[in-house]
Homo-oligomer: A and B are copies of this chain.
Amino acid sequence: MSGIADVARRAGVSKSTASRALTGSGYVSDATRQRVRDAANTLGYVPSTHAVSLATGKTQTIGVIVPHVTRWYFGEVVDGIQNALIARDLDCALFSAEPGSANRQRMFDTYLGRRRFDGLITVGLEPSTRELDRITTIGKPLVTIGSYDAGTSAVSIDDFEAALRATQHLIALGHSNIVFLGGAPEDSDHSFGDARRVGGYRTAMTEAGLAEFVQHIPCDVDMPDGYAVAVDFLSGSHARPTAIVAVCDEVAIGAIIAARRQGIGVPNDLSVIGIDDHTHAEMFSLTTLRQSPREQGETAVELLSRLIAKPRSTPERVWAPATMVIRSSTAPPPEPARL
C-alpha cells in the first residue's frame, strides 16, 4: 500500500506539505492541495484517522442519537443524515437509546463522556433532566430533530400547527364528533411531540365550539397498536365518531384497516387523517400532512456544520414544512339518518 512518502514524491512536495494538504491542518495553497489530493487518489492513499484527528483536533465523526431505527420516521431521518454526512466526508456514529433501556443509560454515562464526535444530532430524543444536564455539559455542538426544544439549534415541523390544520380540515368538511387517536397519555413524561399534536387538536375543536366532543384515545405510535385500539373503540357501544385525527400515518393506517375489517367504509362512514405522508400512505389513499424526515436530517447536518465551524454562534430554529396532501380517506360525515 502507498504511504504519505509516495504521495509526496508523486505530487513533488515534501512529506510535511503533503500531510498538511491532506489533513487540512495548516497553510497550503489551493493548487498544491489539489495536486496532493490527485496524487493520493491516483495511489489509493487515504490518511489514517488517528493522524488526522491528532493534527486537527477533529474526529470527523458526528454522533447521532435515536430512540430506535425501526420506525419509518427515524429510519428516514437517519438516511437523510447519512447522505449529508457522506457528502461531507464525515462519519456517522449511531446510538440508539430506547426510553428506559439499560443501553440508554450506558450511552449517556459512557459514550457521551468519550466525546468521540465533533458534534451531536439527537432525533426525537426527549431527555430527562439528568440526561439533558449530561448533554449540555459535554460542551459539543448540538442539533435536535423533533419536538423537544432545549434552546439548541433544532429542526422539526410545528406539531401543534400540523394537528390543528388536520382537525380544521375535518371540521370544514362538517364533522363534529372527531377523536384524536394515538400517542402517549397526557400525563406521560416522554411525549413532547404527541402532547403538542393533542394540543393542536384540542385548540381547533375548542375554537370551533366543539369542546364537548374532545376525546384523546392514547395508543403506541405504530400500526399494530393503532389497529388494536381502533378495533376496540369502533366496535364499542358508544356513539361512534365520524372522523379520526391520527397522531401519525402509521396509526391512521391501523385505524383504516380496523374500520374495513368491521365493514365501516372509509371515507363514507368514517374519515381518517394522518400526519407524515408515510411510504404506505398512498396505498391507503390517506389524506395527511406531509413532512420529509429525510430533509430534516439533511438540514440538521447543515446546522451542525455551521455550529462546528463557529461554536459560539446563535442557535438556529428551523421549522420544517408540513403540507396538506388530500387523497380520499376524508369526506363529509354521513347523513344523520344513517348514523
**Chain A residues within 8 Å of B, Cβ to Cβ:** 44-50, 53-54, 59, 61, 64, 68-72, 75-76, 78-79, 82-83, 86-87, 89, 91-96, 103, 106-107, 110-111, 113-116, 222-224, 227, 254, 257, 260, 279-280, 282-283
Task: Tell whether A49 pairs with B44 under 8 Å between CB atoms, given A75-B75, A86-B107, A254-B283.
Answer: no
- Asked if A86 and B69 make an inter-chain contact with CB atoms under 8 angstroms apart, the answer reads no
- Asked if A115 and B70 make an inter-chain contact with CB atoms under 8 angstroms apart, the answer reads no
- Asked if A83 and B69 make an inter-chain contact with CB atoms under 8 angstroms apart, the answer reads no
Question: How many whole Å from A147's CB to the nearest CB in chain B?
Answer: 21
Q: Report chain B residues within 8 Å CB of A59.
A: 49
Rounded to whole angstroms, the CA-CA distance of A110 and B46 in the bound complex is 7
- Asked if B224 and A283 make an inter-chain contact with CB atoms under 8 angstroms apart, the answer reads yes
Rounded to whole angstroms, the CA-CA distance of A79 and B69 in the bound complex is 7
**Of B64, B69, B113, B224, which one neighbours A279 at CB under 8 angstroms?**
B224
- Asked if A106 and B94 make an inter-chain contact with CB atoms under 8 angstroms apart, the answer reads no
**Of B54, B68, B82, B283, which one neighbours A94 at CB under 8 angstroms?**
B82
Rounded to whole angstroms, the CA-CA distance of A93 and B196 in the bound complex is 33
